[in-house]
Every structure is written in structure tokens, then in C-alpha cells.
Amino acid sequence: MRRFTVDDFDSWRAIARQALAAGIEPRALSFQRSKQEKTLFDDEANDDDLPSSRSASPLRLSKEFIALAQMISCHRDPNAFNLLYRLGWRVLNGEPLLLRDTLDDDVARAVRWQQQVRRDAHKAKAFVRFRPVGEQKFFAWHRPDHWVLKLIGPFFARRFPNVEWMIGTPLEIVTWNRRKLEYGAGMPTDPGADADACVDLWKTYYASTYNPARTNVSMMKREMPVRYWATMPETALIQELLTAADSRTAEMIIKGETPVHPANAGYTNLHGLNEAARSCSACELCEHATQTVVGRGPPSARLILVGEQPGDEEDRTGQPFVGPAGRLLEELIAEAGIDREWLYVTNAVKHFYFVERGERRLHKRPSARHLAACQPWLHRELELVRPVMVLCLGVTAAQSLIAADFRMNASRGKVFSVPHHQAVMATYHPSAIVRAPSAEAAARMRSELLANLRQAFELSVARPAQAGQNVKR
């Protein structure tokens, strides 16, 4: 039995690729997680001991497998990497659809572990609290159940890019030196007042002598074709550096030690706001959706249409209203004679909420909690675009912007003044037409929606812009 020591997904993958290509059966090898105090691969087999692969063709593991593996590699169970290898082996050796078989013991366990890690990472993002431990230096102590720092490190680097910080946990630590993330051995307890010294110690000692991430990267570069690099943590960091939020804001958030919603961090233009929304984790929807779907249209628009949430196609493409409901909306916009230059389209909730049914992802209605988590993004969008009119499409958007007990039958087509805007109307969502119980009902709703769309557009043209509004004239 060959034993390999790995410490994260990347180091596991580099070895697993070779072992799978060499045809080594799961029972002939085992993986264990490095304790991190010692050099990687000390006294263990390493990847150089592996025979060269039987075939020259590249191993293809699906994106779905890779995504699952990234989460499971963070699970605390000592068999996490062995389970991954067994799954990879089975997929490549006659069971290509294995991951669909949720009754299979290995798959069921993998899905359970994935959910546990996801929940743990989400809790860490929500509960980590930094405290100042020196000039521009911050420390947070947290006790996760799993090895989640690799999952949450990039999130905090984006959030607090311009100060130095460390998150300590009993399993591992992560530090940010304003340029990159470093991971190292954990600390058994909260160092309390000594946290300052810990941050310094890390900087002057550990960072220069021990860096598993760096070891893994050079190994990966040796082992991995360039096409795999897109998923390397360092590559992601480049992107995060480019999109890092403004430092004053980050400091303000840390020092306040209160969970300030990231939308309220003082963004002065839509671009900055939307970039920040891409890393929002104010509720758990971000854990399942592919991406945040932000609004689209000119910042000088006079009319904003607010939908409910992205659907399946929107989630995949990152654009609002591009699926079936969006195509119908486009038709109605054209029929109403609305110039796209005057129009901005967005959603009350920025992540797709769905339930999986086999291959399909079925829309779920967002809850009041999801609406509340996303509301600050929408409010700030309205403040920045400052349109003359807002038209909510569907009851969810109306409940987010007008009133929690909004009823479509009672209030469709009425103009309301609300704290975040003085002229908001609501009408049906285009998908209500698609789902209408009869052709007659669909035709009636279509003409009512069209009338409301025209009405909102005409008001947006006729009403004078408010002081400070940057709308098209």
C-alpha cells in the first residue's frame, strides 16, 4: 500500500491524476492529510514514486466532479481524500454517471460531506470577527469544524484587501499580507492579547520557511497542463487583486466590528457596486448559484425594471432576463416602443434559488430572508441610477420595494412613493403569462402587462427628473 501525504485539493489532484493515469486501484494507495508542521511528503511516498501513466491521453474529470472534490477535500474526516480517489477511479473506470446515483454509498457520503463543508464555510464567512492588533493589522479567531480556510480566504482578501490580517483556527491559519494569502499550521487556542505577536511571528518566520501553498504550486506547475491552471488559487488571487474593494471601506468594516452589508460600503458608481455584489455572501444562495447576476443597462436610464431573481439561463450566462421570461419581456419592451437607452433591468434577488430535479434546476421562490439580504444591493442600485420610474415585475420585487404585504390584484398599476424611491409601480412578471392557466388568461395578462409597461415608460418620460438625477434627457 502506498501512502501519500497531501494537504489540500491541489496537492491531492496532482498525485491523484498520476495515480489514476497509472491505473493504481483505490485499495492499493491511501491519502492522509499532512499535519502541516512537517515538510510535505516527509517519510512518505511522493508523486515521483508513481509509475508513468499507461496512456498518454489526458484524464477527464468533469467540472461537476472537480467542484465536488474541492469541497470534500476540506472535510475533516481522515478518509476524505480516499473517498475522492475512489470516486474518481470509479468514474473513469466504467461508471461515468456515478455522481448522478445518489443512492450509491460513496456518492451519498460525498454529497453529505459537501453540504457539511459548505455550511461550515458559510458560517465562517458570517461569524469571523476581526479585532485590531496593531497598526493596520487585524486578527480573528474562529473554530470551524472543517478545513475551510482555503474556501473563505479569498473572500476576506476581497473584502479587506488593504490591511494585514490573520484568521487563526485550531486546524490551520490564513494570513493576508495585502498581496497574497498564506496558509499554515493551526493554533490550539485563541492567543488573546498575544495575537499581535502571532501575526508578526508568522510574517518573520513561518512565511519564509514553510509555505505549503507554494510547494503545491510548483508541484502543480510541473504536473499540470496549463489548461488546469484556471482553478489554481494563485490565479484566482490575481483576479481578486484586480477587483479588490476600496481600503477605507474595508477598514471601516473591520473596525466597526459590526456586520455592515457590503452594499453599504460607500460605492459611488454602478461598476464598483456590481463588482462588490459578485462576491456577496449575505445569504446562503451564493453557495449554490453559479454567479451573482447584476443589473444591466445605462447608468443614465430613466426607467428601471426589477424582476424577481435570475433563472437557470441567467445564472449560467450572468445576464438578467435572457431566458424564456426575458425573451417575452424583450418582445413587450419592443411593442411598448421603449428605447433600451432609457432602460435598466435588474432583480430583487441577485442569485438563482433553485431545487435540483435530476438534470434540471427548478426555480424556487425566494424567502423574506433572501429578499432582505439582497435589498441593500437593490436600494443602492436605485440610488446610483436615480431613475424617474421603477417598475416591479411580479409580486416578489413589489414586496421587496413597495411593501411586504403587497398584493398584485389590489395594487397593480398604482404609483407608490417609498423610502428608496418616489415613483414605484408593479405589474405581472412575464413568467406569469407563460404559466397562465388558459390562453385567454395569458392574453389578458399580456395586454395588462404591456399597458403597465407603456404607462411606466410614459411617466418616466413625462415626469421631471429629480435634483441630482443623472437620467437621460
Sign of CA dihedral 139, 141, 147, 148: negative
Positions 387 through 416 that interact with ligand URA (CB under 6 A): none
Stretch that binds ligand URA, among 130-138, 194-202, 222-230, 308-316 (CB under 6 A): 308-316
Regarding 310 and contact with ligand URA (CB under 6 A), the answer is yes
Nearer to ligand URA, 29 or 432 (CB): 432
281 binds ligand URA per the rule CB under 6 A: no
Segment near ligand URA (CB under 6 A), from 176-184, 226-234, 237-245, 304-312?
304-312
Cβ 356 to ligand URA, closest distance in Å?
18
- The SS3 of residue 362 is strand
User: Strand, coil or helix: what is 132?
Assistant: strand
Q: Looking at the DSSP assignment, which residues form a beta bridge with residue 174?
A: 167, 183
Point out which residues pair with 391 in neighbouring strands.
Answer: 305, 425
Is 295 a binding residue for ligand URA by CB under 6 A? The answer is: no
Out of 172, 275, 308, 315, the only residue in the binding site for ligand URA (CB under 6 A) is 308
What does DSSP say about strands 131-134 and 416-418: parallel, antiparallel, or unpaired? unpaired
Q: How far is the CB of 307 from ligand URA (least distance, A)?
A: 3
Site string for ligand URA, 70-109 (x = CB under 6 A): ----------------------------------------
C-beta neighbour count of 450 within 10 angstroms: 16
Q: What angle do CA 65, 148, 243 make, to 5 degrees?
A: 85
Binding-residue pattern over the window 347 to 386 for ligand URA, x denoting contact by CB under 6 A: x---------------------------------------
Please say which residue, 141 or 321, places its beta carbon nearer to ligand URA.
Answer: 321
307 binds ligand URA (CB under 6 A): yes
Nearest CB to ligand URA, comparing residues 248 and 365: 365
Strand 389-393, strand 421-427: pairing: parallel
Residue 297 touching ligand URA (CB under 6 A): no
Segment contacting ligand URA (CB under 6 A): 57-65, 112-120, 135-143, 314-322?
314-322
Nearer to ligand URA, 34 or 427 (CB): 427
Decide if residue 274 touches ligand URA (CB under 6 A). Answer: no
What is the torsion angle, in degrees rounded to the nearest 10, for the CA atoms of residue 198, residue 199, residue 200 and residue 203? 120
Shortest distance, position 325 Cβ to ligand URA, whole Å = 4
Q: Distance between CA atoms of 114 and 316, rounded to whole angstroms?
A: 21
Rounded distance between C-alpha atoms, residue 323 and residue 272, angstroms: 26
Under the phi-then-psi rule, with left for phi > 0, alpha for psi from -120 to 50, and beta for the rest, what region is 297? left
The answer to whether 326 and 416 are in contact (CB under 8 A) is no
Distance, CA of 100 to CA of 107 (rounded, Å): 8
Considering only 309, 375, 399, 452, the residue that binds ligand URA (CB under 6 A) is 309
- Shortest separation between residue 314's beta carbon and ligand URA, angstroms: 4
Place of cell 398604482: 414
Q: Are strands 303-307 and 389-393 parallel, antiparallel or unpaired?
A: parallel
Residue 168 is which amino acid?
A: G
Query: E-assigned strands of 241-357?
Result: 303-307, 343-347, 354-357
Give min distance, CB of 321 to ligand URA, in A. Answer: 4
Contacts (CB under 6 A) with ligand URA, residues 152-181: none
Number of residues that bind ligand URA (CB under 6 A): 12
Nearest CA to 236 among 193, 181, 292, 318?
181
Closest-by-Cβ residue to ligand URA is 307
CA distances from 262 to 252, 255, 268 (A): 11, 14, 13
**314 touches ligand URA (CB under 6 A):** yes
Q: Which is nearer to ligand URA, 34 or 396 (CB)?
A: 396
Strand 181-185 to 354-357 pairing: unpaired
The residue (of 143 and 365) whose beta carbon lies closer to ligand URA is 365
Write out the binding residues for ligand URA, residues 318-337 only, by CB under 6 A.
320-321, 323, 325-326
d(CA 393, CA 449): 9
C-alpha–C-alpha distance, residues 336 and 61, integer Å? 48
Alpha carbon 260 to its chain centroid, in Å, reads 18
Closest distance of CB 393 from ligand URA, Å: 6
Considering the complex, state which of residue 309 and residue 375 has its C-beta at the smaller distance from ligand URA.
309
- Choose the stretch contacting ligand URA; rule: CB under 6 A; options: 146-154, 254-262, 302-310, 330-338: 302-310
Residues that bind ligand URA (CB under 6 A): 307-311, 314, 320-321, 323, 325-326, 347
